[in-house]
Amino acid sequence: MDGAVIETRGLSKRYARTTALDALDLQVPPGTVFGYLGPNGAGKSTTIRMLMGLIRPTAGTATVLGYEIVRERQAIHRVVGYLPGDFNAYRDLTGQQYLTYLSNLRGDVAPAEISLLAKRFELDLGRRIGTLSHGNRQKVGIIQACMHRPQVLILDEPTSGLDPLMQHEFLDLVREFRNAGRTVFLSSHVLTEVEAVADLVGIIRGGHLVMTADVADVKSRARRRVDLTFVDGVELPIVELTRVPSVRDLDVVDGTVQLVVEGSMAELLRVAAPFGVERVVSNEVDLEDVFLQYYEGEDR
């Protein structure tokens, strides 16, 4: 397939008082996982809901697999698997009934695919959706998005409510989709999730696309604060640590070395280990911070 699978040009959504999305230009190449990152209210869901034809852009346009989002909405619905940020299914139906209903509306779902996915995510399809936990309800949402093996997956905060094991399983599923040449557009405010699975990342804040980048590249430049506690009686290897190229802002508080590492921690750990490290606490840097650093870095 040539060209971008998802392409937006000046895509905007303005309301009377606010601009939810301001002239978004975005390209998602085929066969990639695109992580759409940003804090709550940044415009992630607005973008996704426009791609799905649920709301109309006030300016600009976009295509998904070449289909225009307003005129060819129904074609997009056929080829895309969608999981809303706030997934709601009929509470009085069982998972099986609900998925059967959506399958019938789609018309191209293999029933075996549903049971396969349910088994994989350990979901009891016989239970009423209203009695399911938030995480299990989210699994129903994930299954309906994937059950017709769509060319494109558009997922809004897909892992919310999933326990870590299921998050892992889900991210595996996303990779499988990608490895099969399909495209995944996934919004999130969790950096680790995007780090784990995305090839490309787009950062959005206040309705503006701040940047898009290669995830590997961002990772190599992310800073995190690390606390190193050494075994009692050892003289702190301050000089050695300061010499590590990736270490910044070293400080000692109550016998614990606090420092900032940019990029990989490998070198730091190699140097520190021989001195008897008792405990390493790695603080995830706030998502926005990481990308702001990156952003500012680009500016300089």
Give the binding site for other proteins (CB under 8 A).
45, 49, 52-56, 74-75, 77-78, 80, 82, 84, 86-90, 97, 100-102, 104-107, 144
Nearer to other proteins, 49 or 178 (CB): 49
Q: In whole angstroms, how close is the CB of 52 to other proteins at the nearest point? A: 5
CB atoms within 10 A of CB 105: 9
Q: In whole angstroms, how close is the CB of 147 to other proteins at the nearest point? A: 12
Nearer to other proteins, 97 or 293 (CB): 97
Tokens representing 136 are: 């299990």
Q: In whole angstroms, how close is the CB of 237 to other proteins at the nearest point? A: 54
Tokens representing 252 are: 């000692």
Nearer to other proteins, 48 or 259 (CB): 48
Q: In whole angstroms, how close is the CB of 109 to other proteins at the nearest point? A: 11
Nearer to other proteins, 99 or 272 (CB): 99
Q: Alpha carbon of 25 to those of 9, 140, 282, 296: distances in Å?
A: 5, 32, 35, 20
Helix 164-179 and helix 134-146, axial crossing angle in degrees, nearest 10: 10
Nearer to other proteins, 54 or 277 (CB): 54
> What is the DSSP code (8-state) at residue 128?
B
Tell which residue, 25, 2, 70, 75, has the closest CA to residue 208.
25
Check if the beta carbon of residue 109 is closer than 8 Å to that of residue 117. Answer: no
Q: In whole angstroms, how close is the CB of 40 to other proteins at the nearest point? A: 13
